[in-house]
């Protein structure tokens, strides 16, 4: 990851290297809080201030980590004005890579739960307490904030996005018999067993971790449940699924799922006496 910036507050910030942040073989003291909120951010200077303001206003007993994914704008500078943790990638590595950086940080710092929260302002901060309560109930390893549990979407989406969600729902059901209403939701909570698994090399994609990862986790007997969530349209900035990206995204997910199914079948065959 090269150099990373860790900031406990806007005051007293200091530069730290990856080895300082993730010391090899060293002992890390546990943070006093058990929940880490991970916010991947790439060129979100116009949205990150509102997101952090809303989160901090809740006074949730959780640490907030912004992973600045090599932004070329003022995302890092804006986030630095808030009492949050910041890790900066030296270049743009991808949404999934940013999440994995957060998972690795959570693993090393001894957190019990991780929550994913996007920096574009689409997720509703008021629903974080409900997500934390849900993931702490211990009846699921992964909790997904779904826009569709009440039978209808609560924000307008384009034709391609709607088609992708419908396709991934079907793909998940056909491969695992699990019914997931919102497989592309980025609003998730998970326990330590899950994020320590994600923190491992080659266990989490660098770009878009979506239906393929859910299928892999279901095949590995992790428990997934959904809770109702509301989401807002993006006010500013460019979506990571804009243009022709949804087509490439669907092709990538299909290939990933194909490889996951082959690997699962080979693993099961190897375990058969």
Nearest partner of 63 among 127, 117, 13, 3, judged by Cα: 117
- The confidence score (pLDDT) of residue 254 equals 78
E strand intervals along the chain = 3-6, 14-17, 35-41, 63-69, 85-89, 113-116, 142-146, 188-191, 224-228
Neighbouring-strand partners of residue 145? 227
Nearest partner of 254 among 145, 170, 196, 186, judged by Cα: 170
Query: Buried (b) or exposed (e) across 149-175, using 16+ Cβ within 10 A?
Result: eeeeeeeeeeeeeeebbeebbebbeeb
Cα dihedral 178, 179, 182, 185 in deg (nearest 10): -20
CB atoms < 10 A from the CB of 250, how many?
Answer: 18
Nearest partner of 212 among 265, 250, 267, judged by Cα: 250
Alpha-carbon distances, residue 162 vs 15, 182, 196, 246, 249 (angstroms): 43, 10, 31, 11, 14
- Asked whether the whole model's pTM tops 0.75, one would answer yes
- The confidence score (pLDDT) of residue 210 equals 83
Alpha-carbon distances, residue 2 vs 18, 34, 41, 86, 214 (angstroms): 6, 27, 17, 14, 30
Low-confidence ranges of the chain (pLDDT < 70): 1-32, 151-156, 234-246, 270-273
């Amino acid at each position: 990851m090269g150099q990373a910036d860790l900031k406990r507050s806007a005051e007293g910030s200091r530069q730290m290297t990856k080895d300082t942040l993730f010391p090899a073989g060293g002992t890390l003291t546990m943070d006093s809080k058990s929940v880490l909120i991970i916010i991947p951010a790439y060129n979100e200077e116009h949205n990150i201030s509102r997101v952090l303001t809303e989160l901090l206003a809740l006074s949730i007993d959780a640490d907030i980590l912004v992973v600045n994914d090599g932004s070329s704008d003022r995302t890092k500078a804006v986030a630095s004005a808030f009492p949050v943790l910041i890790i900066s990638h030296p270049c743009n590595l991808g949404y999934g890579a940013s999440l994995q950086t957060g998972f690795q940080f959570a693993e090393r710092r001894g957190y019990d739960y991780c929550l994913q929260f996007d920096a574009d302002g689409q997720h509703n901060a008021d629903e974080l307490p409900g997500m934390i309560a849900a993931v702490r109930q211990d009846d699921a390893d992964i909790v997904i904030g779904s826009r569709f549990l009440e039978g209808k979407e609560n924000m307008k989406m384009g034709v391609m996005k709607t088609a992708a969600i419908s396709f991934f729902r079907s793909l998940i059901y056909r491969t695992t018999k699990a019914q997931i209403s919102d497989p592309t939701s980025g609003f998730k909570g998970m326990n330590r067993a899950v994020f320590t698994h994600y923190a491992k090399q080659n266990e989490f994609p660098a770009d878009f971790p979506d239906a393929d990862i859910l299928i892999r986790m279901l095949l590995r007997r992790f428990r997934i449940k959904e809770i109702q969530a509301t989401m807002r349209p993006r006010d500013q900035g460019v979506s990571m699924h804009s243009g022709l990206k949804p087509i490439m995204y669907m092709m990538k997910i299909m290939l990933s799922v194909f490889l996951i199914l082959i690997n699962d079948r080979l693993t099961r065959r190897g375990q058969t006496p």
